[in-house]
Homo-oligomer: A and B are copies of this chain.
Amino acid sequence: MDPVLDRAFSEITPVIDSALDKYLPASSAPPGRLAEAMRYSVFAGGKRFRPVLAVLVSDSLGGKREYVIPAACALEMIHTYSLIHDDLPAMDDDDLRRGKPSSHKAFGEAMAILAGDALLTLAFEVAADSPAAASPARLVAEMAKGAGPAGMVAGQVADVDAEGRGGGLAEVEYIHKHKTAALIRAAARIGAIAADANEAKVAAAGRFGEALGMVFQITDDILDVTAETTALGKTAGKDAAAGKLTFPAIAGLDGARQEAQSWAGEALKSLEQFAPTHTILSQLVPYVQGRTS
């Protein structure tokens, strides 16, 4: 990782973690193991990519940290809920997440469903209750649009539907844009909204986030083919085994790499439209494209 970007992650991640710790119920809070299950997945070692992106976009537009941190934490809760539900036996049926047993393996299926539901709901409470430059309701609406039936959930449905049935480039692009890029786009827009940026800049930040999200997911597809389970922290080779629709499956590894390259260019072009001199954000693009886990 670029040293400037590395420093930014090292500085922002603990701030996010400590705010998440404050927002989540204490491990010992009743009932049963609910709080424990919520914390288990939130603190399983995620990179905090979506919150860091929201904070960096806000920073680049002169926003105050206190206005973006709550919504950034809410984005991480939503991301975590989506992983918990995605891993369920009826969905991707994955026993391993971030190198540890997935939620339903550790806590049982009922608790995994409920811990996911609780994280999704708490996310909106945290965002709605937050101080904000603009209106907290707008942050909530952005988040819900990115995560809901026209965003992330649409991508998950299309992903499940496509399994084994196949499809072409248009289908895989639809899946990736919704399943992964929609929430990353929301993170970037939320960073801009929290900084009270004008509509043109919010829109440009959204395009940056969406393109970055596409690079992120195509790289994920590639890593599923090329990396080892231990490095990934989740089961490698699983996409092909499950007949998932991915860029490598449709366009081959080289085709997938070209596709990632093209979205990386798109991201850098959008960045010029809202934060042309922000070197940390520009370093995010090669970082996402070059990551190995």
Contacts and interface: CB of A to CB of B under 8 A. Distances in A.
A148 B136 contact: no
Contacts of A30: 154, 158
Interface string A171-213: 0001000100000000000000000000000000000000000
Interface string A142-159: 011101111001111110
Given A35-B149, A137-B136, A153-B114, A128 B128 contact: yes
A248 to B, nearest CB: 22
A5 interface: no
Interface in A94-134: 108-111, 113-114, 116-118, 120-122, 124-125, 127-129
Given A85-B117, A113-B90, A137-B137, A34 B128 contact: no
B124 A144 contact: yes
A279 interface: no
A75 interface: no
A26 to B, nearest CB: 11
A8 to B, nearest CB: 29
Contact of A125 (B32, B113, B144): B144
A25 interface: yes
Contact of A140 (B110, B111, B128, B161): B128
A72 interface: no
A154 B186 CA distance: 29
A92 to B, nearest CB: 9
A32 to B, nearest CB: 4
A158 B31 CA distance: 6
B144 A137 contact: no
Given A32-B161, A158-B31, A128 B149 contact: no
A122 B151 CA distance: 10
A121 B140 contact: no
Contact of A31 (B90, B125, B161): B161
A153 B90 contact: no
Given A125-B144, A128-B144, A111 B157 contact: yes
Given A32-B161, A125-B145, 17 more contacts: A32-B158, A34-B157, A85-B114, A88-B113, A90-B109, A111-B157, A113-B113, A114-B156, A120-B120, A120-B121, A121-B148, A122-B144, A124-B143, A125-B140, A125-B141, A125-B148, A137-B140
Interface of A: 25, 30-35, 38, 81, 85, 88, 90-91, 108-111, 113-114, 116-118, 120-122, 124-125, 127-129, 135-138, 140-141, 143-145, 147-150, 153-158, 160-161, 174, 178
